[in-house]
Structure 1
C-alpha cells in the first residue's frame, strides 16, 4: 500500500464516520487490504464529477453501497482497525492495485458485461474499472494466472477474464471465508 503524494485534506468527524461505515459494511472486516481497497473506491468516486460531492454524499448515494450503510450499528471488535484504516485513507493512503477503479461487487458473483476490467480481489470483493469498447480492445485479457503473477489477488483461488468475449463465461471463485 502506498501513500499519495497529495496533501491530506482536513476531514470532518462526519466524513470520517461515513468512510468508516462504507469500509466496515463493504469489506466484511476481513482484512486491512480489503478495508483500504473499499476506501480507495470511495475516494475515487469523491474525486469524480459523476458522483455526489463529499464522502457522505458518495457513501449515502442510493443503491450504491450496502443497504443501511448510513444507519446500521457498527458493533464489532474490528472497529479500532476499521477506524485506523479510515484515518489512513483520509490521510492519503490508497490501495495501489485499485488505481482508478470506482466499482466493486461481492467476489464469487458473475456478470455477463464486457466493460468490467478487474484489477483486484480483496476483502471479499472484486474491484473493477468500467471500460469503453475501445479501451477493452486495447487492454490485456486478465486471466487467473496473469492476476496471480501480478499480485492482484489474495492467496485464494480466483478465475477472472475481462476485456473480450471470455468475460461472458467469467467465473470468480473466492473460496469459503
Structure 2
C-alpha cells in the first residue's frame, strides 16, 4: 500500500499532537511538514564490473516504482485517468475521497481538486483537526455527515473513482490547488455573509481563506 508523507505526517500528528480546540465554522456562527596494515584475509576483492550490483538498488534487484507514480508533467485529466480506483487504500484517503465525492462530484476535475485541497489545507492549518477524517467529522462542517459514520458510495461509479483519484493527487501533492490555501467554500446559491478573504469562484463554489 502506498502511503504519502502527507498522510503519514497527519496520522502521527493526530496520534501524538496536543489537543487543539477546533474552529467552529458554520453560517450560524463564523465560517467554516585500529590502524595498521590490513590482513590479507580481510582485504576486499572488488567484483568484476559485470557482477557489480546496481547502485540504485542495494541488493542489485530491479527497482519497482509505486503503482501510483505518474509523470510529473501529466495534466490533471491524465493523472486522474491513471489513478482511478474503487479502493482508496486507507481510511484517511477514504475520508478525503468521500468529502470530494459528496461536495463536488458534479463539478469539473479542477473544481473537485479545489475542494479536496480545502480539506487537506484544513488538516495542515493547525486550526482544524489534523487528519482528513477529523476535518470531515468536525461538528457542523459537512452536511452529508451524520454521526461518526461515512455515508455509503457507489464504488463502481466513475464519479467515485474520479474522487478517489483526486484524493490521491491531493494527498501526494501532485497538482496544486487552483484556489491556493483556501480553507472554506460554499455553494454559489447561498450567501452566508462570512467575513473572510474571498479567494475566488470555481464552478458552483466560492472559496475563502
Provide the TM-score with structure 2 as the length reference.
0.52
Superposition deviation, residue 112 in structure 1:
3.4
The equivalent position to 1:84 in structure 2, one of 165, 173, 192, is 165
Give secondary structure in 1 for the equivalent of 2:98.
helix
Q: In the alignment, is the contact (CA less than 8 A) between 2:196 and 2:208 conserved in 1?
A: yes
Aligned-residue offset at 1:94:
4.9
The alignment status of 1:126 with 2:209, answered yes or no, reads no
Whole-angstrom CA distance in 2 between matches of 1:41 and 1:94? 13
Larger strand fraction of residues: 1
Please point out which of 4, 9, 26 is paired with 2:6. 9
Given that 1:40 and 1:94 are in contact with CA atoms closer than 8 Å, whether structure 2 keeps it comes out as: no
Check the 8 A contact 1:37/1:98 in 2, yes or no: yes
User: Which structure has the larger Rg over C-alpha atoms?
Assistant: 2
* Distance in 2 of aligned mates of 1:104 and 1:117: 11
Greater relative contact order structure (CA < 8 Å, 6+ sep): 2
Alpha carbons of 1:94 and 1:128: their partners in 2 closer, same or farther (altered >3 Å)? farther
- The aligned residue for residue 50 of structure 1 is 127
How big is the shift at 1:26? Answer: 0.8
* 1:34 shift after superposition: 1.4
The equivalent of 1:156 in structure 2 is: none
Tell me what 2:191 maps to: 110
Query: Unmatched 5+ residue regions in structure 2?
Result: 9-88
Between Structure 1 and Structure 2, how many residues are aligned? 122
Q: Which stretch of the first structure deviates more once superposed, 50-59 or 104-113?
A: 104-113
1:100 CA drift (Å): 1.7
1:101 corresponds to 2:182: yes
Per the alignment, residue 27 of structure 1 pairs with: 104
Could you list the structure 1 runs, at least 4 aligned residues long, displaced by more than 6 angstroms after superposition. none
For residues 176 and 142 of structure 2, what CA distance do their matches in structure 1 show? 19
User: Structure 1 residues 28-37 or 62-71, which shifts more?
Assistant: 62-71
Q: Are residues 118 and 39 of structure 1, via their aligned partners in 2, closer, same or farther at CA, if it must alter by over 3 Å?
A: same
Does the C-alpha gap of structure 1 residues 10 and 31 become closer, same or farther in structure 2, counting only changes over 3 Å? same
CA change 1:52–1:110 in 2 (3 A) is same
